[in-house]
Amino acid sequence: MTTTATGRPTVVVLGAGFAGLSAVRELQGVDADVLLVDKNAYNQFQPLLFQVATGGLNPGDVTYSLRSFTGGRRRVRFKQATVTGVDAAAKVLRTESGDDIAYDYLIVSSGITANYFGIPGAEDHTLTMYTRAGAIEVRDRLLTAFERAAERGGEAPCVVVVGGGATGTEMAGAIAELRSTYVAKNYPELDPTAVRVVLVEMLDVVLGPFEDPLRQYAAKALRDRGVELRLGAAVAEVREDTVVLKGGEELPSVLTVWASGVSAPRSLKDWGFPQGRGGRLQTDADLRVQGSDHVFAVGDVGVVDGAALPQLAQPAIQTGKHAAANVKRLVQGQATAPFAYSDKGTMAIVGRLAAVADIKWPFAGKFTGAIGWLMWMGLHIALLHSWRNRIATLVNLTTHYVTASGGRNVIAGEPKDVPQHGREDSDGAEASRDPQLERQGGHA
C-alpha cells in the first residue's frame, strides 16, 4: 500500500480551505505521511473577502501562509501545484507541471466556483469573490468607477449585485456603506445619494435559508442603507454595461458582482467520479466517493449520501475532520464511521451594527442588530488561522465599523476602464473591460 520510502502510507489533502486545513489538523499523529496540495501558497478566508472587495480589510488580513501552517507539523508537507486530473486506479494525481503525485488516500477539498445557469453574458461580464484575486479586482473596479465618475462631471455609477444569499447581501450592504462614508467624504464631485446599489434576487426574499423575521430584518436594513432590492426578479442577460431582467427592465451597471449560485469546478467531470447536484462529488455516508475506497470528498465539493450540506464554514470543518478520522481508522485497519452533521447555526452581516444570527449551539437563539453584529464579528475573527490575522482584522474592522468616518485608506490597484452606460470615451470608442483575473474558487 505504501508509496514512500518511509514505509508509511501517503495521505494527500487536495485544497487548503476550511475542509482541507481541518483534515490536516485531524491527521496529526496518524502513522502516515501527509501532503497538503493547493495551487496557491496561502489559505484565503472566504467569508471576509467581501471586506477586501470594499476596502474594509487588506488582502493580507485574510490570507495565511500554507508553509507556516505545515511547517510545525510532524510528517506534514506542502506542495504548490495545480491538479488537472486523477487516475484513481493508479492512485495518482496529474498536475499542470507534469509532476505526478502518488497517494494511498486522497481527501478532495477543492471548493466550488460560480454557477452562471447558462445566462447569456453572465460569465463574461460579471466578477465573483471566491478568491483573493477576485476580491481585489472587484475592489479595483469599484474604486476606478468612482474615479471615472468624478472625472466625467459627476455622473453617478450604478453597481449591481446578483444573488440575495449571504454573499450577495453582505456585498450589497458593504458597497452601500462605502458609498455613504468613503465616497461621501472623499468625492465632492459626486452626490453619494445618486450612486445606485441594486441587489437582484430571484426569490421574493433575501437570505432564503433564514427564517422569515430574520429575512425581513435584513431586507429592511438593506433598504435603510439605500440598497434597491429587485426581489422576485430573474436575470435574462448580462451585457458589458447592463443587466437585463426578465420582463425587459435594464439596469445600467459599471460593475456586476455575481453571487447567485455555485457549482463544482468544471474539471471534475473529467476525473471519472460520480457527480451529483451542481457537479459535486457523490459520497457515501462515510464521505468516501461512491465506488472509491481510498478517495474522500469534503466541504463544498461533496454531496453526502445524496444530500448537499450548506456551503458554510462549519460543514466544511466537520466533513474535513471526519474524513481524516476515517483515514486514521483505515490506516489502523478499522471500519469507517458515517458522518453526522451538527448544525451550529448561520449568520450574515448587512452593515455596521446590523446582522442576523440564527444560533443553534452552544445555545439556541435568533439575534439581529448590534448583538447579531457582535456575534458575527467574534466568530469570524476567531475562525481566522493566526493571531496576526486576528489582530489585524480586529483593528481594521473596528476602525471601519466603529468610527464609520469614511477616512479609511482605500487604495485601488492599476487603473482599469469600466463600462460607462450610454457613454463613449473621448476617442469615440466604447469603454472596455479587462478579462477577469481569476474566476474559479477552490483548488481544482
Query: What are the residue numbers of the active site?
Result: 170
Q: Where are the beta strands (DSSP E) in 305-382?
A: 345-351, 354-359, 365-368
350 burial via Cβ count (<10 Å: 0-12, 13-18, 19+): buried
| Sign of CA pseudo-dihedral 131, 47, 409, 356 | positive
- Using an 8 Å Cβ cutoff, are 116 and 127 in contact? no
Pick from 226, 277, 331: nearest CA to 10? 331
And the C-alpha cell for 207? 437570505
DSSP state string for 165-227: SHHHHHHHHHHHHHIIIIIHHH-TTS-GGGSEEEEEESSSSSSTTS-HHHHHHHHHHHHHTTE
Pick from 193, 342, 205, 195: nearest CA to 255? 195
404-433 burial string, b = 16+ CB within 10 Å, else e? eebebebebeeebbbbbbeeeeeeeeebeb
DSSP 8-state assignment for residue 94: E
State how beta strands 101-102 and 92-95 pair: antiparallel
The half-sphere exposure of 167 on its side-chain side, counting CA atoms within 13 A, is 23
Neighbours of 269 (CB within 10 A): 11
The one-letter amino acid at 323: A
398 vs 383: CA distance, rounded Å: 17
DSSP state string for 8-38: S-EEEEE--SHHHHHHHHHTTT-SSEEEEEE
